[in-house]
Structure 1
Amino acid sequence: MALVKKSSRRITVDGTTYRWRLRGRPTYDQALVWSPLTYAVEYAETPGTTLVITTNQPHPSNWFGAQANPVLPSDVADSIRTARHNGWTPENPGSPFHLDQSEGFVSSL
């Protein structure tokens, strides 16, 4: 499944161009700080397998005002490199590749 181009940003990592997107509105669980922020990345030229990154921080638009740091392009680049090292092949079609970086996330439960 390809990312929606609206609100997506381009990033070049090690000579390859990707598009990444953070959901503007949090899911219900993210709004309640029950689950962490996630964002998606795909190969910009011919989208194949989507990378879904789960972070260790709350969504910036959560309903409780929990402190959330912005997702920086350097964070996205580091996650892309980690996923590529762990076997993500964005050029090939397939199921989404999940990269879980949620260690240390504290839920509001």
Structure 2
Amino acid sequence: MALVKKGSRLITVDGTAYRWRLRSRPTYGRGLVMSPLAYAVEHAEDPGTTLVVTTGRPHPGNWLGRPGSPVLPAEVADGIRTALAGGWQPGNPGSPFRLDRSEGFGTTR
């Protein structure tokens, strides 16, 4: 499943172009800070398997006013490199590849 181009950003990591996107509005669970912020990444020219990275912080637009921070391109690049080292193959079709970086999220609320 390809990412929606509207609202997505391009990033080049080690010479390869990727497209990444973060929901501008939180889902219900993220709005209530029950689940952490996540973003999706795919290969820009030949999308296949989508990478879904779950962070360890709340969505900046959560409804409870909990402090959240934006996802920066350096963090996205690091997530892409980590996923590639962990076996993510962005050009091949398949189920989403999940990278969970949310350790300790429930304990910091």
Cα 1:96–1:90, aligned 2, differ >3 Å: closer, same or farther?
A: same
Cα 1:81–1:108, aligned 2, differ >3 Å: closer, same or farther?
A: closer
- The alpha-carbon deviation at position 108 of structure 1 amounts to 8.3
Tell me the residue number matched to 1:76.
76
- The alpha-carbon deviation at position 106 of structure 1 amounts to 3.1
Tell me the residue number matched to 2:40.
40
Return the letter of the residue paired with 2:6.
Answer: K
- TM-score, normalising length: structure 2: 0.96
Structure 2: 5+ residue stretches without partners: none
Return the letter of the residue paired with 1:48.
Answer: G
RMSD of aligned Cα (Å) = 1.3
Superimposed CA distance per residue, residues 22-78 of structure 1 (whole angstroms, 9 cap, x where no aligned partner): 001101000000000010000000100000000000001100111111100000000
Q: Work out whether 1:88 is the aligned partner of 2:95.
A: no
Distance in 1 (CA, whole Å) between partners of 2:105 and 2:11 is 26
Calculate percent identity across the aligned residue pairs: 69
- TM-score, normalising length: structure 1: 0.96
